[in-house]
Amino acid sequence: MIDDIETLVRCESPSADHAAVARSAEAVAGIGRRLLGAEPERIVVDGCTHLRWRFGDGPPRLLLLGHHDTVWPLGSLRTHPFEVRDGVLRGPGCFDMKAGVVMALHAAAALPDRDGLAILVTGDEEIGSPSSRTLIEEEAKTCDAVFVLEAAAGGGALKTRRKGVSLYRIQIEGRAAHAGLEPEKGVNAGIELAHQILAVAALADPARGTTVVPAAASAGTTTNTVPAAASVAVDVRVWDAAEQRRVDEAVRGLRPHLPGAKIRVDGGINRPPLDAQASSELFALANELAAGTLTEAAVGGASDGNFTAGLGIPTLDGLGAAGGGAHADDEHVLVAELPRRTALLAALAETVLARGSSSAPTNARGETGTAQR
């Protein structure tokens, strides 16, 4: 497993570099081909390469879901080299989530019967899954369960609840003028942007766990010109769908403060919340198989599991590597946990596939996986 993780980590795959992601997909395909004796389907959408394995003649009943893209730019290996020392594996993207991809392939290889299993490894999760969302939802809709190989929460906890995410870009159109000669003839997009930043920040509700964060912003072109344009990116995280709708309506209802300014809002709801109800039965099963040693966590980050849970498909997340430092300089994986967590994943997959559709876990709407077909 360490050798396979090293292969993937050394094949850098920043999401926006489609050529790099395609090379990474071939590295994943090679490992899967060796372990599973099967060639994956390569699905290229908008230039991004995704991989899918399906086993059996019928529709999939279990989906192992992961991604092989990372946030790390090409050349990161020079400053963050792959290494294993004192039981800790390091390297860009090892924790989020190349180790999880390897775990999925090794767990699938251990199954005595893969009939009904699908494995989907996407290439654009880190940028919101713009080209893979439809693929993920289509693959999951017949499934009794989805196991997401994102990295574990602190202490190895499984992720049974995730916030939903909305992403916006607020763009301001003003009017340029000379800042010294006749600033009164301009409409200052920077000042308008300041008003809108304060307005969206006020939409946060700490009591409900709703965060609304104005992030990257820009205004103007030169120091002696009234800014004619400005923009800000806004990141929204919520625990429930009602809050997500409330914030969405409020952002789309923003109005200019300055006479003559115009506002355009792009973006919207990206991922629905992953509610604890979608994970409860699968977590109970996993904990039973692990002799009651598992813990669970609610986290602010989202994953592709939010999409499948939003469809009402039972979804359990955080089944990947234990470690820490996702997206950070200290990204790492605890080597000793790899075999234990992979064995748990294999046991979970074998149990769900053996149950068959007649005894599938109920989904978030109280229906079985059979009802989804």
Q: What is the pLDDT of residue 349?
A: 98
Segment 208-226 mean pLDDT: 97
Helices (H) and strands (E) in the chain, counts: 11, 16
Q: What is the pLDDT of residue 367?
A: 42
Q: List, in sequence order, the alpha helices (H) in the chain.
A: 2-10, 18-36, 76-79, 99-109, 133-140, 189-201, 241-252, 280-289, 305-310, 337-355, 369-372
Local confidence band at 32 (pLDDT 50, 70, 90 cut-offs): very high
Per residue in 71-87, pLDDT (tens digit) is 999 999 999 999 999 99
Q: What is the pLDDT of residue 344?
A: 98
Segment 243-257 mean pLDDT: 98
Q: What is the pLDDT of residue 241?
A: 94
Q: What is the pLDDT of residue 144?
A: 97
Instruction: Compute the distance between CA of residue 273 and CA of residue 302 in angstroms, rounded to an integer.
Output: 8
Q: What is the pLDDT of residue 299?
A: 96
Q: Which of 4, 6, 12, 69 is catalytic?
A: 69
Local confidence band at 357 (pLDDT 50, 70, 90 cut-offs): very low
Statement: the pTM of the whole predicted model exceeds 0.85: yes
Distances (CA, A) of 208 to 244, 259, 301, 316: 11, 35, 16, 23
Instruction: Compute the distance between CA of residue 135 and CA of residue 96 in angstroms, rounded to an integer.
Output: 21
Question: What is the fold, at CATH topology level, of the domain defined by 164-271?
Answer: Alpha-Beta Plaits (3.30.70)
Mean pLDDT of all residues belonging to the chain: 95
Q: What is the pLDDT of residue 107?
A: 98
Question: The tokens of 254 are what?
Answer: 């923003």
If 0-12 CB within 10 Å is exposed, 13-18 middle and 19+ buried, where does residue 192 land? Answer: buried
Helix, coil or strand: residue 20: helix
Q: What is the DSSP string of 47-82?
A: TEEEEEEE-SSS--SEEEEEE--BSPPTTHHHHS--
**Torsion over CA of 182, 184, 190 and 194, rounded to 10 degrees?**
150
Local confidence band at 202 (pLDDT 50, 70, 90 cut-offs): very high
Instruction: Compute the distance between CA of residue 360 and CA of residue 341 in angstroms, rounded to an integer.
Output: 23
Per residue in 295-339, pLDDT (tens digit) is 999 999 999 999 999 999 999 999 999 999 999 999 999 999 999
Cα Rg, the chain, nearest whole Å: 23
Local confidence band at 364 (pLDDT 50, 70, 90 cut-offs): very low
Instruction: Compute the distance between CA of residue 137 and CA of residue 338 in angstroms, rounded to an integer.
Output: 28
Q: Are 112 and 103 in contact (CB under 8 A)?
A: no
Q: Is 125 a catalytic residue?
A: yes
Local confidence band at 366 (pLDDT 50, 70, 90 cut-offs): very low
Segment 102-129 mean pLDDT: 97
Query: In degrees rounded to 5, what are phi and psi of residue 353?
Result: -65, -35
* Sheet of strand 229-238, all strands in order from the earlier edge strand to the far edge: 211-219, 229-238, 164-173, 262-271
Amino acid making up residue 110: A
Q: What is the pLDDT of residue 372?
A: 30
Delimit the domains of the chain by residue range: 2-161+273-372, 164-271
Query: Does the pLDDT of residue 34 top 80, yes or no?
Result: yes
Per residue in 120-172, pLDDT (tens digit) is 999 999 999 999 999 999 999 999 999 999 999 999 999 999 999 999 999 99
Q: Are 317 and 160 in contact (CB under 8 A)?
A: yes
Query: In degrees rounded to 5, what are phi and psi of residue 166?
Result: -125, 140
Local confidence band at 184 (pLDDT 50, 70, 90 cut-offs): very high
Q: What is the pLDDT of residue 183?
A: 97
Q: Which of 4, 125, 192, 317 is catalytic?
A: 125
Question: What is the fold, at CATH topology level, of the domain defined by 2-161+273-372?
Answer: Aminopeptidase (3.40.630)
Instruction: Compute the distance between CA of residue 84 and CA of residue 6 in angstroms, rounded to an integer.
Output: 10
Residues 6+ apart with CB under 8 A from 253: none
Instruction: Compute the distance between CA of residue 292 and CA of residue 276 in angstroms, rounded to an integer.
Output: 18
Over pLDDT 90: what percentage of the chain? 95
Q: Is 182 or 373 the better-scoring residue by pLDDT?
A: 182
Query: Does the pLDDT of residue 368 top 80, yes or no?
Result: no
Q: What is the pLDDT of residue 358?
A: 40
Segment 242-253 mean pLDDT: 98
Q: Is 69 a catalytic residue?
A: yes
Segment 1-5 mean pLDDT: 98
Give the range among 157-161, 292-296, 356-360 with minimum mean pLDDT: 356-360
Query: Does the pLDDT of residue 231 top 50, yes or no?
Result: yes
